[in-house]
């Protein structure tokens, strides 16, 4: 039997580190983040360095990478408006979500590019995706520098939840039924996971 060996991240390339980390922390939720740009144009892009951080208050975090040319539009826009919307990526929106990851100039509206409509949120200074069944409207809570990493962690406080009334709750709870939501998770690269078998097990006493 081949012995398991420990890989030292300092001894492998940045590409290998990226491929290993993103294929081991799986599946990752996708924060599909919409913001207003500097010239009022809507901006939309997916981020899978994304997760829930706390429920009281409701906090979510997204780690935004920097391009060699400078910060990504989403980061610039969140800094400027101190707000963003997280559109939950569901199966019908998978292709559209992918289209909005195109590396385009900051004045290009990714909503139009993907055939989507931007709706202004009344609660925060950000648009959201028309027809998206679940949207979290967030105010910027904190910006966290990640040291040497060319990423910035933006923590948002959810101040509004827009939920399609068709989204059924799991009986006796406020939780949205995943079988109705049909969320998509990111695996590594261009691979995604849709909902497989849902297993429910009780917690031990």
What is the distance between the alpha carbons of residues 102 and 105, in angstroms, rounded to a whole number? 9
Q: Toward ligand FMN, which CB reaches closer, 80 or 177? A: 80
Q: Which is nearer to ligand FMN, 34 or 121 (CB)?
A: 34
Which residue, 29 or 133, has its beta carbon nearer to ligand FMN? 29
Q: Is 41 in the site for ligand FMN (CB under 6 A)?
A: no
Under rule CB under 6 A, which residues in 16-35 are in contact with ligand FMN? 30
Nearest approach in angstroms of CB 15 to ligand FMN is 15
The b-or-e profile of 105-126 (16+ CB within 10 A means b, else e) is eeeebbbeebebebbebebbbb
Choosing from 47, 84, 93, 111, the residue that interacts with ligand FMN (CB under 6 A) is: 47
DSSP code per residue over 97-115: HHHTT----TTS-HHHHTT
Size of the site for ligand FMN (CB under 6 A): 17
Q: How far apart are CA 81 and CA 124, in angstroms?
A: 9
Residues that bind ligand FMN (CB under 6 A): 30, 43, 45-49, 63-65, 72-74, 98, 101, 103, 186
């Amino acid at each position: 039997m081949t012995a398991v060996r420990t890989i030292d991240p300092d001894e492998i390339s940045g590409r290998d580190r990226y491929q290993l980390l993103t294929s081991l922390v799986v599946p990752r939720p996708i924060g599909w983040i919409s913001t207003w740009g500097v010239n009022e144009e809507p901006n939309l892009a997916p981020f899978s360095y994304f997760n829930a951080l706390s429920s009281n208050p409701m906090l979510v975090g997204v780690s935004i990478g920097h391009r060699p040319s400078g910060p990504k539009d989403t980061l610039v826009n969140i800094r400027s408006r101190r707000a963003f919307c997280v559109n939950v990526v569901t199966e019908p929106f998978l292709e559209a979500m992918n289209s909005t990851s195109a590396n385009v100039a900051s004045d290009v509206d990714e909503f139009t590019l993907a055939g989507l409509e931007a709706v202004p949120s009344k609660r925060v200074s950000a648009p959201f995706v028309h027809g998206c069944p679940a949207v979290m409207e967030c105010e910027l809570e904190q910006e966290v520098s990640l040291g040497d990493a060319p990423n910035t962690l933006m923590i948002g406080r959810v101040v509004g939840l827009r939920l399609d009334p068709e989204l059924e709750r799991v009986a006796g709870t406020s939780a949205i039924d995943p079988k109705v939501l049909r969320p998509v998770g990111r695996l590594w690269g261009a691979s995604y996971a849709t909902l497989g078998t849902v297993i429910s097990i009780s917690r031990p006493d």
